[in-house]
Amino acid sequence: MAPIEPIAIVGASGQLGAALVAAYAGRALLAPPHRELDIEDGAALEAFLTASRPAVLINCTAFHNVDECERLPERAFAVNALAVDRAAALCAAARVAFATMSTDYVFDGALGRPYTEADAPNPLSAYGISKLAGELLVRRHGPAHYIFRLSGVYSALGTSNKGYTFVERVLQQAERGEPLRIVRNMTFSPTFAPHAARVIRDAIDARAYGTHHVTNAGATTWYDFAAAAFARAGLAPAVEELQYDNYGSAVKRPLYSPLASTTLAAAGISGAPTWEIGLEEFLAGRAARKAALA
């Protein structure tokens, strides 16, 4: 199969975007920064597609601060749904395949087993609703699209709108000897961005259009994820267990939203390794960066 090139990535400075840039090393790649191409600016996006003629546009942008989305649903819909819809329409008109990212938060967490691509969404939050709206809007522009649902993404970078990712933040708190309080009753599939990027690249190279769940394999709670990181990093902080009170909180979140994929294997694409392997790679990179700075 001929390689899909050139590849264009919007949101390339983010956790997943940067990991995709690395995964596509050596390939023809366009990665305009946010200041040059805003996904909400349809005219700028159309001009970019006309000038650069990518074979696929990969959208890694999002407004994904879940609390802020609840407070500002119009912004959540502008970035996560309406801009995604417009981008998909422009790509369809220009015969450019379109890939966009979604989330485990499209599910309500009530199923009691990991969600596959065949399970029905039922988002609880403005963020999840806006991402599901983005999915539905994309699907109506024809089959040449990919929707990749991720969960608990982390990398060395952290996110621009949330700051350090959870694991980096709790490791730093533990290193400073600060008290920690971590949620125990919320289960998900932590996903190391470089592992997700490899799967996404392979799915696009295989032209495996459709909706795919892309996470590290397995599931854990935020508390146990942090405990695994502390144990591997040689830290033993005191940690108070919290229960996320779904119904007392301003934002309802799924309490059990691990993702599993049936579609990737059917398309001959190997999934990401376990979350423990993802965590170990993250920690090895972190230790190497610290040693280089010392």
Residues designated catalytic: 127
The residue within the footprint of ligand NAP, chosen from 69, 126, 150, 199 (CB under 6 A), is: 150
Comparing C-alpha atoms, which of 223, 216, 218 is closest to residue 185? 223
Comparing C-alpha atoms, which of 291, 274, 140 is closest to residue 220? 274
Give me the helix-helix angle, 83-93 and 42-52, nearest 10°. Answer: 30
Angle at 71 between CA 249 and CA 162, to 5 degrees: 85
Does 60 engage in binding with ligand NAP (CB under 6 A)?
yes
Does 204 engage in binding with ligand NAP (CB under 6 A)?
no
Beta carbon nearer to ligand NAP, 11 or 194: 11
Does 214 engage in binding with ligand NAP (CB under 6 A)?
no
> For residue 217, which amino acid is it?
A
Comparing C-alpha atoms, which of 3, 96, 100 is closest to residue 52? 96
The residue within the footprint of ligand NAP, chosen from 50, 52, 160, 249 (CB under 6 A), is: 160
CA 59/CA 70 separation, integer angstroms: 22
CA 10/CA 17 separation, integer angstroms: 7
Q: Which residue is nearest to ligand NAP (CB)?
A: 14
Does 128 engage in binding with ligand NAP (CB under 6 A)?
no
Give the x/- contact pattern for ligand NAP in 65-104, rule: CB under 6 A.
--------------x---------------------x-x-
CA 245/CA 253 separation, integer angstroms: 9
The residue within the footprint of ligand NAP, chosen from 21, 39, 170, 279 (CB under 6 A), is: 39
Does 13 engage in binding with ligand NAP (CB under 6 A)?
yes
Token couple for 112: 């009691």
Among 106-114, 137-145, 150-158, 252-260, the segment contacting ligand NAP (CB under 6 A): 150-158
Chain contacts with ligand NAP (rule: CB under 6 A): 10-11, 13-17, 34, 38-40, 60-62, 64, 79, 101, 103, 150-153, 159-161
